[in-house]
Amino acid sequence: MNILQVNGLTKQFGGLTAVNDVTFDVERGSITGLIGPNGAGKTTIFNLVTGVYKVTGGKIVFDGKEIQNEEAFKIANMGITRTFQNIRLFKRLTVYENVLTACQYNANYSLFEAMVFGLVPKKIKRNSRFYREEKLLKEQAEELMEILGLQDRRNFIANNLPYGFQRRLEIARALALRPKLLLLDEPAAGMNPEETEKLTELIAFIRDKFDLSVLLIEHHMDLVMEICDKIVVLNFGCKLAEGTPKEIQQNPEVQKAYLGGGNNA
C-alpha cells in the first residue's frame, strides 16, 4: 500500500503555476526521489504536503486520509515531517535543546501538572506523570543524539555547528516525532563527496531503524541513483517522468531537460 498519494496537485502563486497537476505515489517503506531543475516546484510540493501552503487544487492522501486542508502541526502529528532546504533550526538553542523540544511523542502531561510537580521534593515528584514522561523524553533525546552522532556536540549552540552537523541535527529533530514519512529537502546541499557518502548511508540506516518512508529532493545524482527505489522528475511544475533510477537515467526526455543539461551539480 502507498503511504502517500498525490493526485492532480496544483499550486498557483498569482499568475505563476509552480506545481501543475502532479500525480505520484510514495510506497510504504520506500525511498522516493524527487528531482528536477531549479525552480521546478520540488520544494513547493513539500510545502503543500506538510501544510505550509494551501493547495490550489488536487488531493493529498496520507495513510488513507485526505490531508490537503489540514493545518501544518496536525499533519506533523499524523506522521509527516521534514527538513528544510535553507535549514531552520532553533538557532540560539543548544543541540540537546533542539532535539528535546521536538521530543513530544507520547507526552501527555498537562500545563497544570508541570506547574504543580516542577519543584517539589523528589519523593512526591517521582510518582507523577510529569516526572515519568519528562524522564522518558530526555532519554529519547539522548538516544537520537547518539544515533545521529551529535553527542559530542550536545552543548553547542545550533547556529555555531558546522554545516553538515546542522543538517544532521535537523534530521534528528524530525525523527523525534517518530514520523511515518520523512521529507528531506536537499540534505546533501553544500556537502563534500565524503560527507555525502556518509549521509547516503545514514538515510538508508534511519529508514530501516525507524521504519520510515522517505521522500527526498536532491541534486547530487550519485546519492539519488544509489538509494532511491523510485524517482519522480519534475520540470516547470509538471511531472516529466517517473520510474526506477535506471529507467530515469535512460529516459531521453529527462536527459534533455535535466541530466544532459550540464547543470546537474
Query: Rule CB under 6 A: which residues touch ligand ATP?
Result: 13, 16, 18, 36, 38-44, 85
CB of 216 vs another protein, minimal distance in Å: 17
Contact between 34 and another protein by CB under 8 A: the answer reads no
Contact between 97 and another protein by CB under 8 A: the answer reads yes
CB of 209 vs another protein, minimal distance in Å: 19
**Binding residue for Mg ion (CB under 5 A) from 43, 68, 166, 251?**
43
Q: Which is nearer to ligand ATP, 86 or 192 (CB)?
A: 86
**Binding residue for another protein (CB under 8 A) from 54, 65, 91, 126?**
91
Q: What is the 3-class SS of the chain, one letter each residue?
A: CEEEEEEEEEEEECCEEEEEEEEEEEECCCEEEEECCCCCCHHHHHHHHCCCCCCCEEEEEECCEECCCCCHHHHHHHCEEECCCCCCCCCCCEHHHHHHHHCCCCCCCCHHHHHHHCCCCHHHHCCCHHHHHHHHHHHHHHHHHHHCCCHHHCCCEHHHCCHHHHHHHHHHHHHCCCCCEEEEECCCCCCCHHHHHHHHHHHHHHHHHCCCEEEEECCCHHHHHHHCCEEEEEECCEEEEEECHHHHHHCHHHHHHCHHHCCCC
**Binding residue for another protein (CB under 8 A) from 42, 82, 180, 220?**
82
**Per-residue binding letters, 74-93, with Mg ion (x by CB under 5 A):** -----------x--------
Residue 41's binding partner, choosing from ligand ATP, Mg ion, another protein, none, with beta-carbon cut-off 5 to 8 A by kind? ligand ATP
Contact residues toward another protein (CB under 8 A) are 50-52, 71-73, 76-77, 81-82, 84, 88-93, 97, 100-102, 104, 107, 109, 111, 114-119, 130, 134, 137, 173-174, 176-177
